[in-house]
Amino acid sequence: MAEIELKKVEKQFGDFHAVKPLDLKINDGEFIVLLGPSGCGKTTTLRMISGLETVSGGDILLDERKITWLHPSERDIAFVFQLYALYPHLSVRQNIAFPLQAEGESRDLINKRVDEVVDVLRIRHLLNARPGKLSGGDQQRVALARALVRRPKAFLMDEPLGALDADFRESMRAEIKQLHIDQHATTVYVTHDQIEAMAMGDRIVVMSEAVLQQAGSPEEVYYKPANLFVANFIGSPGMNLINGKISEGKVVMPGIDNRYTIPNDWLDPLHEDLNGSTDLIIGFRPECAHLSTEGDLVGTVYAVDLHGAYTMLHINMNEHDIVHIREDRMVKHALGENVRFNLDKDMVRYFNPKTENAIYRREVVQ
C-alpha cells in the first residue's frame, strides 16, 4: 500500500514562493502526473516528497504516517532523475546493484534481483558496459532498473524522458506505463510535456506559478478545465479562448456577425457567476468546431497546417483572435478564404474573465 498525502505543503526559497500551500491525495497504485511549465513548482514538490528538499510548511504522509522529516532513505521510495544520475565509474551491473549493496544485502540476493530487473527492462546485454557509453534511452532504462531493484513503495520520476529524442520518448512512455502496471506501484511523475501527461497519467495535477491549478483525470482536465491556464496548457494547440460579451442569451464576439447562441441550461449559471458583468470568455477545442456553409460564426483563413491525417486551420476572426479548427482530413484552403463554422454546443466552455475560473452548470447526474 502506498498512499501519499500532501497537507498544505509549501516551499519558500528566501522570499520566493516556489510552492504555495498544496493539498493533494495520491491513491495507492495511481500514476499521477505533476504537469506544468518550467518554474511552476512541480519538481520542487516531487523533491519534497522524496526528502531531497525540505518543506517550509505542511506535512507529507505516506500510508498515514508522517514522513515530512524522515531521511530520504527511510521513505521507501525510489527516485529517477532527469539526468539519470548513474555512477560513471561503475558498470551497469554495479550501478543497478548499488542500492542493494548500500543496504548490505547478500550477494545472492543482489544477483537474483539484478537478474530479474534487467530482464524486465531488456538491458541484459548491457550489464558490463559503462553508462557513459550508452545511448540516452539505455541510460534511462538502467536508471529505471536501479529504481526497480529495491521494490520501493512508490516511484518518483523527475522528467525522466526530458533528455531523450522525440521518437524515443514515445516508446519509452509506453514502457514506463507498462512497468507501472506490472509493478502495481504508486508513481509520481513530473513533466512539462502535456502530451506525455495525457498519455500516461491516471490523474494529472496541473501546476502553474507555485499553485495547483487542477487535479483530475485526463478527461476532466481536457474537457472540463478548471481555469484559463489549464484550458490553454492542455491540448496542442490549447483550447481556443475568445473574449466576448453576453447579451440577450448570445455571446457577442468581436468581429462581424459573430454571435454564438448560448444553450438555455447555461444561461442561469452564467448570469449567477458573472454577477452583473457582461464580460465572458468562451472556449472550445479545435476539434469541436466544424466548418459549415451555414455556420454561425465567420472568419478568414490565416494559415493552413497540413498534418496528413488532419488539417489544422488558423482562422482569423476579427484581426484580434486567431482560433484553431481541426478538420479530419487533408483539405487545402486558400489563404484569406472566408469560412463559416459551428461549435459543438455540449463541448463549449465558459470562463469568468475576472477570476479566470471556469463557470460550471449543475450537471445532470445520470
128 binds another protein (CB under 8 A): no
Quickly list DSSP for 211-230: EEEEEE-HHHHHHS-SBHHH
- Give the span between the Cα atoms of 272 and 356, in whole angstroms: 15
Binding mask 2-41 for another protein (x = CB under 8 A): ----------xxx-----------------------x---
List binders of another protein among 196-235 (CB under 8 A). Answer: none
Among 3, 5, 20, 52, binds another protein (CB under 8 A): 52
Binding mask 230-269 for another protein (x = CB under 8 A): ------xx--------------------------------
- Residue given cell 483530475 in the structure block: 216
135 binds another protein (CB under 8 A): no
Which residues share a beta bridge with 16?
13
122 binds another protein (CB under 8 A): no
Among 78, 142, 176, 323, binds another protein (CB under 8 A): 78
Q: For residue 327, which phi and psi values (nearest 5 degrees)? A: -110, 135
CB of 83 to another protein, least distance (A): 5
Stretch that binds another protein, among 256-264, 273-281, 287-295, 303-311 (CB under 8 A): 303-311
* Element of type H or E holding 297: strand 297-306
70 binds another protein (CB under 8 A): yes
335 binds another protein (CB under 8 A): no
- Give the span between the Cα atoms of 99 and 148, in whole angstroms: 10
Q: Which is nearer to another protein, 88 or 276 (CB)?
A: 88
Indicate the pairing of strand 203-208 with strand 31-35: parallel
Sorted by sequence, the CB contacts under 8 Å of residue 277 that are 6+ apart come out as: 354
Stretch that binds another protein, among 79-87, 211-219, 245-253, 261-269 (CB under 8 A): 79-87
98 binds another protein (CB under 8 A): yes
> Distance of CA 364 to CAs 74, 360, 361, Å?
47, 12, 9
Task: With CA atoms as reference, report the closest residue to 201 among 183, 188, 185, 182.
Answer: 188
Contact (CB, 8 A) for 349 and 269: no
Among 22, 33, 42, 50, binds another protein (CB under 8 A): 50
Reduced to 3 states (helix: H, G, I; strand: E, B; else coil), residue 316 is strand
* Element of type H or E holding 327: strand 322-327
69 binds another protein (CB under 8 A): yes
Stretch that binds another protein, among 66-74, 111-119, 170-178, 344-352 (CB under 8 A): 66-74
- Give the span between the Cα atoms of 271 and 335, in whole angstroms: 38
Q: Which is nearer to another protein, 225 or 235 (CB)?
A: 235
Is the previous residue joined to 237 through a cis bond, with omega within 30 degrees of 0?
Answer: yes
CB of 322 to another protein, least distance (A): 10
CB atoms within 10 A of CB 182: 10
CB of 71 to another protein, least distance (A): 5
All cell numbers assigned to 109: 540476493
Stretch that binds another protein, among 87-95, 175-183, 243-251, 254-262 (CB under 8 A): 87-95
Q: Which is nearer to another protein, 206 or 215 (CB)?
A: 206
CB of 275 to another protein, least distance (A): 37
Sorted by sequence, the CB contacts under 8 Å of residue 166 that are 6+ apart come out as: none
Sites of contact with another protein (CB under 8 A): 12-14, 38, 50-57, 66, 68-73, 77-79, 81, 83, 85, 87-90, 98-99, 101-103, 130, 146, 150, 236-237, 303, 305, 307, 312, 314
